[in-house]
Amino acid sequence: MGHIQNRWGPTRVGPFGLLQPLADGVKFIFKEDLLPPHVYKPLYIAAPMIALIFALTSISVIPIGNWITVFGIHTPLEITDVNIGLLIVLGITSLGVYGVALAGWSSNSKYSLLGGLRASAQMVSYEISLGLSLVGVLIMAGSFNLREIVDAQSGIFWGFIPRWNIFQGQFVAFFIYLMAAYAETNRIPFDLPEAETELVAGYHTEYSAMKFAMFFMAEYANMITVACLATLMFLGGWHGPHRFGPPIVQAVLPVFWFAVKIFAFLFLYIWVRGTLPRFRYDQLMAFGWKFLLPLAIANLVITALIVALRA
């Protein structure tokens, strides 16, 4: 990101600044943990924990690879395989709004309250477009199960184009999902609620040290979840170019492709962060309700029509 903005960025800690996140984490652990006297204590302490718990739980239903056999145990590469995996991820994302709203309210200061209200209103508005853009993929795959959605994207057509959902006509849905994901995770260009130049620092003004770190961990975990979901739904999950190498490599190869795709998506996130300016709040809400939502509905209708006419 430093390179994108033509400045050095953190380069002192470790080679090329790779150890910087570790140094940041250690700094947060050692910082003094303040408890301002005017806050509403139970919710003040619980809000970052709520945000973090929900951000980390949604990763548990995401499959990262095929079934593999390790030491004789045949296991799928995810924590649980549920029939409604996609709905669970969407539900937990909806619950994550509480962390932000309660943090803003419990801090008992006007900047935090306004920042919290704005952030949660933004998250709730873009959740709808997020869900609707995924319904197009659902219609094509026919199941809520994340593993089955990825399996429906295996194989190639026209000799070299992989049969990912993004190439199978869902590219509009992919862009809707991309924009809704940026707004859901409060990243640029939609990060008005937590921008440094606006409203002091938004809903985490009154937080320090570990609780602040928990909010940021929750934000990054949310980003990873959103990236995983995008790879599973639109970019073909763990399918990559054909199997090569000895069987031990073949077992791990799907995970490698999955990781590559997630990194590509996160790179896109950071690229956009270094490049675009941010939206004003009314522009942001107008964009979500007046542009993305009708577009997502239109995408849904057209996908449903095509699938129904083809069958």
Partner 1 sequence: MLHLIVFSVFGLVCVAGAVNLLVQRHPINSALSLVIVMGSLAVEYLLLGAEFVAAVQVIVYAGAIMVLFVFVIMLLNAGEEERSKGSRVAMLFGVPGMVIGSVLMAWVLVARSGTGNIAVGALPGPPKVIGWLLFHDFLLPFEVTSVLVLIAIMGAVVLASHPGSKQPDKREG
Are 269 and 182 in contact by the 8 Å Cβ rule? The answer is yes
Widest Cα–Cα separation across the chain: 66
Structure tokens at 189: 């260009």
Q: Give me the residue label for tokens 């490698």.
A: 256
Between CA 214 and CA 217 the distance in angstroms is 5
Smallest gap from Cβ 131 to partner 1, in A, equals: 8
Are 117 and 125 in contact by the 8 Å Cβ rule? The answer is no
| Angle value at C-alpha 227, between 168 and 49, nearest 5 degrees | 145
Closest to partner 1 by CB, 119 vs 235, is 119
Smallest gap from Cβ 138 to partner 1, in A, equals: 10
Closest to partner 1 by CB, 94 vs 168, is 94
Are 166 and 174 in contact by the 8 Å Cβ rule? The answer is yes
Smallest gap from Cβ 153 to partner 1, in A, equals: 20
Structure tokens at 293: 């939502």
Between CA 125 and CA 146 the distance in angstroms is 24
Closest to partner 1 by CB, 196 vs 282, is 282
Closest to partner 1 by CB, 100 vs 179, is 100
Torsions phi, psi for 51 (to 5 deg): -60, -45
Smallest gap from Cβ 90 to partner 1, in A, equals: 6
The residue ranges of DSSP E strands in the chain, in sequence order, are 68-70, 73-75, 156-157, 161-162
Strand partners, 157: 161
Smallest gap from Cβ 105 to partner 1, in A, equals: 5
Between CA 203 and CA 194 the distance in angstroms is 7
Smallest gap from Cβ 84 to partner 1, in A, equals: 5
Amino acid at 267: F
Encode burial over 76-103: b for 16+ CB neighbours within 10 A, e otherwise: ebbeeebeebbebbbebbeebbbbbbbb
Please report, as ranges, the residues that interact with partner 1 according to CB under 8 A.
Answer: 43, 82-84, 87-88, 90-92, 94-95, 97-98, 101-102, 104-105, 113, 116-117, 120-121, 124, 127, 142-144
Are 206 and 47 in contact by the 8 Å Cβ rule? The answer is no
Smallest gap from Cβ 195 to partner 1, in A, equals: 21
Closest to partner 1 by CB, 119 vs 179, is 119
Smallest gap from Cβ 186 to partner 1, in A, equals: 16
